[in-house]
A and B are shown apart, each in its own frame.
Chain A
């Protein structure tokens, strides 16, 4: 069995603060993998260590391995832009480029990465990505309008389309519904279940109910340590660790 992603002995420091401690796990393809834990436990850092977005922070230092298809993304010979293209990323606050149109937001990645040969191919790709993100029907007549006119939930789905347009292997989602209303949130969750047919999805959430609802695998992160990982049904019904149990039954914020 080939794994979607393998993490081996991953350590992250900010300055001299040890943020992630010896994290190791592997997960299969075409599943939803949820990373849950209280805020400040290192979930978002773990996500950004995978696609090396952490390197935007000059104080961050990483040790260990993250392998996709057997290739370590931290290997010196690996191109960082290639790494980031293997992942599509969706952020906590919907962050479409507000000065660009809806079309341009989705088209930008493929265009700058040279993934398409001509305009009609690009049009097709944009349409496909927007359809996958359940957004096409709502915006097909407004493609030239600025992204900032969309509602919060629509903006987040636009960001998903932007990520999908790169044809990534893995989609990283950093608390994608934290800033959305319940209706918009459930739409995103529905969408995720659809997407796992074609992608592996890694979602960070501080909401154990959400993890229970949608994920196949789940990890519990606490103070930078991986406390428990396993199939969601197992972790939620028979947690092996006391901390996990406290967390999933809601006795720990």
Chain B
């Protein structure tokens, strides 16, 4: 009887430790960042001036950078992730499936600093020479491509993020796809559907899972720090085109924090950035989890 009691206390102890940590993270974010919101209010979010010497902090350029890079990433990743999921569960011959899934899972588990190093020295030059320069030269009149690109910029960061989130999103979609009841597939073929038409029907059936995968992947893209910090350019400007160098909130924190203690309000400002990032991420992930829940109820 005693060991039962001790065991229960032990379990409670650990679960409270976990809860304390979660709550502690939120509390430390809010309390440390509160001075910046008290001093600047919404100006902190909508101002584009970041000048620590004058103690004026506006997060808008970094916020835009986060939104732009993650939008690029999710736009590229959506067709790729869906295709990868369909390909590995429907098109590729059975015996290669587990290999294909292993490759995709391996991709999802590579450290972001490795993506960063590769993005900086391999991907960025390739994109620069073969995609961004031609786009700028021939289509430079379109505002999106108007800046003369350097290898590291918002676009490079967006593409690298897309590469990183595809396997993650695709694994969620794949799981739902393979869980579709077999008789549904049989029914589709039995009324004379072609393979593509069947695939399209199944994709419609797992719509919620696709949304879930994409939203959770979007959340990851927004929070990703290291890889982005290595290829985004790290310049605080309101971006005028996709090829501008920029910052994201997380890369701003990564780069600026080491010298933040030297200024009065920089630490609160960076925690403020983290708070905003946290709130955006929270909403996006809750939406993602909502869709996952829908999938589970259906399945």
Binding site for B on A (CB under 8 A): 79-80
Contacts and interface: CB of A to CB of B under 8 A. Distances in A.
A12 B1 CA distance: 24
Contacts of B4: 80
Interface in B1-46: 1, 4
Interface of B: 1, 4
A136 B170 CA distance: 52
Instruction: List 3 tightest A-B contacts by C-beta distance, closest first.
Output: A79-B1, A80-B1, A80-B4
3 contacts: A79-B1, A80-B1, A80-B4
Contacts of B1: 79-80
Contacts of A80: 1, 4
A71 to B, nearest CB: 15
Nearest to A82: B1
Nearest to A78: B1
Nearest to B1: A79
Nearest to B4: A80
A80 B4 CA distance: 10
A176 B132 CA distance: 72
A79 B4 CA distance: 10
B1 to A, nearest CB: 5
B2 to A, nearest CB: 10
A79 B2 CA distance: 10
B5 to A, nearest CB: 12
B159 to A, nearest CB: 46
A181 B229 CA distance: 66
B35 to A, nearest CB: 46
B56 to A, nearest CB: 57
B6 to A, nearest CB: 14
A80 B2 CA distance: 12
A236 B131 CA distance: 89
A84 to B, nearest CB: 13
A80 B1 CA distance: 8
A184 B1 CA distance: 39
A35 to B, nearest CB: 30
A114 to B, nearest CB: 13
Nearest to B3: A81
Nearest to A77: B1
B171 to A, nearest CB: 27
Nearest to B2: A79
Contacts of A79: 1
Nearest to A79: B1
A141 B1 CA distance: 39
A50 to B, nearest CB: 20
A76 to B, nearest CB: 10
A80 B5 CA distance: 13
A80 B3 CA distance: 12
A207 B4 CA distance: 39
A79 B5 CA distance: 12
B29 to A, nearest CB: 35
B192 to A, nearest CB: 41
A109 to B, nearest CB: 17
A217 to B, nearest CB: 34
A74 to B, nearest CB: 14
A112 to B, nearest CB: 12
A207 to B, nearest CB: 33
B290 to A, nearest CB: 26
A182 to B, nearest CB: 33
B4 to A, nearest CB: 8
